[in-house]
Amino acid sequence: MARTRQTETAVLGALSVMPMTGYAVREAIRDVLGHFWSESFGQIYPALSALERQGHVDREGKERTGSSVFVITPSGEGRLRELLAAPIQPAPPRNGLLLRLFFGRQLGPEVCQSLLENAKADAERRLTEFKAIRNQIAADEATTADHLYWLLTVSAGEHGARSVISWAEESIATLLEQTPLPVDAHE
Amino acid sequence: MARTRQTETAVLGALSVMPMTGYAVREAIRDVLGHFWSESFGQIYPALSALERQGHVDREGKERTGSSVFVITPSGEGRLRELLAAPIQPAPPRNGLLLRLFFGRQLGPEVCQSLLENAKADAERRLTEFKAIRNQIAADEATTADHLYWLLTVSAGEHGARSVISWAEESIATLLEQTPLPVDAHE
DNA sequence: GGGCACATGTAAGCTGTTACATGATTAA
DNA sequence: TTAATCATGTAACAGCTTACATGTGCCC
């Protein structure tokens, strides 16, 4: 029960920005919410059907054309506000990198260092992505009333990425202290 | 396939630190790995049985007493290293706070501010928890070869919490600019 | 006319959570 | 002796992913 609501929230949220096809909802969730949210493909169409049955969205142009555009109804907007106001259900944490580092003695310092290097590189990649997103939102600034809130989530991503980078750098240094370089005389 | 391995990894990892009962494995995962990992109760006993069948753990004292202690075998240690060396499977992101903020226009700036205040308070709570954990690890320093790696994960938690705090403070300020105080003449 | 992106859906199967059932041991 | 904690397990269900099935419209 508790979990299907989450899909409902994401789908209604997407439609609250603009009407679109189910296919476009999926793309929006993947490409726009992707940095902090995910829904799997197979959930979206059933969720849309359920929302239609409940009168929270209308399906326009359904006849014979195949593709149809979903539009949020006033009741759907009420439902969305209700869902957004509900208590946040914290997702159980599952950080594979930290799991590996916690048992890092099994892997040895060198492997752990390379895990950290990868994490740092990933975070740097994300940081440049966020920069691009920021520019894009700024470009649309005039046309959307949502940009202020969108920037908040971009900023969260940036802070998170920077914290990963500084943590990784510190941790690599700590591990290096622990593994004195093999004293090779060359040079 | 891919997912059951994760439970296997956590269980073998716990037993690599010291032999313990299934119940204790569960507590260790909840209390020690809890900040970055979770396994549900109902997965742990089946995982232990499977590991026993495969010879990766031995069950000692199984006879009639009810409780038995699980001990990792050499083959289990090999399996653990294999699992830890496998590519990290990134968990699909699901951040309920960011989802709410992204559609924050529906909630209004005041509600969003209080969401951010809560997030900040949570992060501060975590920060003091991490401090306590750090002290505890330092106290055990002599007795465990793992403490260096454990501190890495604590540090990750601290960096993360601090990044949430600074992000939340910035964001609250941004929202305040947006909602000029109601000009009430009183005072 | 062949390939690609758009578009909608379903079904099988796996993962994970929760609640239940049971019993031993220990402390008040 | 009664409650809490330790201990082991199972079964039902909810949620999610993946692969499949199908068709349209457009561009080269």
* Contact status of A112 with chain B (Cβ, < 8 Å): yes
- B97 CA, D21 C1': Å apart: 37
- A8 CA, C14 C1': Å apart: 23
pTM: 0.93
A1 vs A90: CA distance, rounded Å: 15
Arithmetic mean of pLDDT over chain B: 91
Burial of A140 (0-12, 13-18, 19+ CB in 10 A): exposed
DSSP codes, chain B = -TTHHHHHHHHHHHHHH--B-HHHHHHHHHHTSTTT----HHHHHHHHHHHHHTTSEEEES-TTTS--EEEE-HHHHHHHHHHHHSPP-PPPP--HHHHHHHTGGGT-HHHHHHHHHHHHHHHHHHHHHHHHHHHHHHHTTTT-TTHHHHHHHHHHHHHHHHHHHHHHHHHHHHHHHHSPPP-----
Distance of CA A153 to the CA centre of its chain: 9
Out of A27-31, A143-147, A168-172, B1-5, least confident range: B1-5
Q: Which of residues 65-124 of B touch strand C (CB under 7 A)?
A: 65-66
* Contact status of A4 with chain B (Cβ, < 8 Å): no
* Residue with more model confidence, B187 or A57: A57
- Per domain, the residue ranges of chain B are 2-85, 96-178
Q: Which CATH code fits A2-85?
A: 1.10.10.10
Quote the radius of gyration of chain B (alpha carbons, Å).
Answer: 22
* Contact status of B106 with chain A (Cβ, < 8 Å): yes
Q: What is the pLDDT of residue B182?
A: 65
* Contact status of A143 with chain B (Cβ, < 8 Å): no
Query: Cβ contacts (< 8 Å) between B127 and chain A: which residues?
Result: none
Q: What is the pLDDT of residue A125?
A: 97
- A85 CA, C10 C1': Å apart: 33
Share of chain A above pLDDT 70, in %: 91
* Residue with more model confidence, A47 or A66: A47
Q: Which two tokens stand for residue B173?
A: 């300020």
Q: What is the pLDDT of residue B5?
A: 86
Contact B171 A164 (CB under 8 A): no
Res. A1 pLDDT band, cuts 50 70 90: very low
Kindly state the average pLDDT of the residues A157-181.
Answer: 93
Range B110-118 contact pairs with CB under 8 angstroms and sequence separation of 24 or more: B110/B179, B111/A85, B112/A149, B112/A152, B112/B175, B113/B172, B113/B175, B113/B176, B115/A88, B116/B168, B116/B171, B116/B172, B116/B175, B117/B168, B117/B172
Q: What is the pLDDT of residues A2-52, one digit of tens each?
A: 557 899 999 999 999 999 999 999 999 999 999 999 998 899 999 999 999
Arithmetic mean of pLDDT over chain A: 91
Q: Is the CB of B39 under 7 A from strand C?
A: yes
Q: What is the pLDDT of residue A16?
A: 96
Kindly state the average pLDDT of the residues A73-89.
Answer: 95
Q: What is the pLDDT of residue B178?
A: 79
Ranges of chain B whose pLDDT falls below 50: 1
Nearest to B93 among A38, A92, A96 (CB): A38
